[in-house]
Structure 1
């Protein structure tokens, strides 16, 4: 166990977090995932195999993030990679139609959750001698704008800034910052919030068919690059704008659909 890579993934019970947990476990890593529900966290971990430990933790609570670190440390002796993946979204709505409580939830989970995780992981890694802190971005992080996506896109744009700042602040230390951009993946987050439709309800199935990738392709691709990363400020981006434009051109859709790399 001493030589195994230890990885913590927040929000690892579903979607990309769960996919990554499985990919890391299959590569011989020890993985700790968290979810708000103890039952969900443990059930997901059991389904993923003995290399995965499930813990109940709320990313909006700094003490919960400290406890998540302590659990991983106590169980496996260290944490090599901490991935702030927990996120939530809303169905596309004009900003003035969204209840304040819903906006607060998106901001608290997506932004404050990542700040809490980054703060705890960076401080503990500095004390422990090093490690990698990763933040998962999505639609909006690269400057793309879409009607109905104000709260979600704003938080993801903020996470790109968080990554840049964390890279600057850890410069010259043994702690490294990384950014993860999975591109377009149809996860539960996308399906449950109907993100494949615009504000008029118009389906964009062709767009998703051309630009999206299945989880069993994206998760292993990202896991390999996380494990190979060495440089502070590393960006692991699945669907860059040039790649998106290339796919659209290959499908004869360039000019008909605007690429929005990073939505998840």
Structure 2
């Protein structure tokens, strides 16, 4: 049975991935800085801060103690910053975003890849986001910078893993309706933004089962699995006038 670890698995996309991997028959461990209120009981939860190598190693060890191995590790833990110009952001907020999104991915990656090489197999997946493809959005400078750097880091890891039994890949969920997507909008601005969200975005429960299936299927070293491709985005814009989508309604 495949064993999967998801960091930042207590909410949003991370929690969706945890539940999706479980539904597909995997054994799952996940972490967060605090325990979730209603996390799935059949998964192993470990309190961990991904910016601390000791915590990451504890998560690895706890998973191996329970399930015997780690086949797949998904670096999902991430933070976004308040939607403000860089000079208006609190220094501590900038540090937190960089710490979790980039430094945390590098520190966790170092621990996990070393352990996977020692066990003789494994696949590490790093989560892309806005900025990974070079898209620039005003007000999200720290977040976008970390995601751009994360893509470089992942491809560099892939080069370092060439010729080994361990692979690294990029996981791109696209635009997903979570609190990170809609935070800090004024009501009037949010209504305008929803027009684009209803074209390009999707709900967690739509995206994460697809991502989980693709992760379990695997990819080449340095490969990318992307939900919202340019072709899909173009099709949605082209058909938007004939397709009614309301991601913020009850259904």
TM-score (norm 2): 0.91
1:143 matches 2:134: yes
Q: 2:67 corresponds to which residue?
A: 76
2: distance between equivalents of 1:143 and 1:55? 34
Matched, 1:226 2:223: no
What SS does the corresponding residue of 1:251 show, helix, strand or coil? Answer: helix
Cα distance in structure 2, aligned partners of 1:240 and 1:72: 33
Q: Deviations over 1:53-93 (max 9, x none)?
A: 11100011111111111111111100000100000112211
> What displacement does 1:223 show?
0.5
Distance 1:196 1:25 in 2: 37
Structure 2 partner of 1:258: none
Change in 2 beyond 3 A, CA 1:12/1:124:
same
TM-score (norm 1): 0.87
* In structure 2, C-alpha distance between the alignment counterparts of 1:184 and 1:207, rounded to whole Å: 10
Cα displacement string for residues 195-234 of structure 1 (whole angstroms, at most 9, x for unaligned residues): 6989x77731110001011111101100110000142112
Which secondary structure does the structure 2 equivalent of 1:204 belong to?
helix
Task: Return 222-231 or 17-26, whichever deviates more.
Answer: 222-231
Q: Which residue of 2 aligns with 1:194?
A: 184
Which residue of 157, 168, 179 corresponds with 2:170? 179
* Residue in structure 2 matched with residue 104 of structure 1 by the alignment: 95
Output the CA distance in 2 between the equivalents of 1:196 and 1:10.
31
Superposition map of 1:109-258 within 5 A: 109-191=100-182, 193-194=183-184, 203-252=192-241
Taking only aligned residues, the RMSD between alpha carbons, in angstroms, comes to 1.8
Q: Tell me the equivalent position of 2:76.
A: 85
| Corresponding residue to 1:27 among 17, 24, 29 | 24
List runs of 5+ in structure 2 lacking aligned partners: 243-251
Cα distance, 1:244 vs structure 2: 1.1
Deviations 1:73-115 (A, max 9, x none): 1111000001000001122111111111110000001111111
Pairing partner for 1:12 from 4, 9, 17 = 9
5+ long unaligned stretches in structure 1 = 254-264
**1:190 and 1:196 in contact (8 A); partners too:** no
Q: Secondary structure at the match of 2:45?
A: strand
Per the alignment, do residues 228 and 197 of structure 1 end up closer, same or farther by CA in structure 2, a change over 3 Å counting?
farther
Question: Secondary structure of the equivalent of 2:100?
Answer: helix
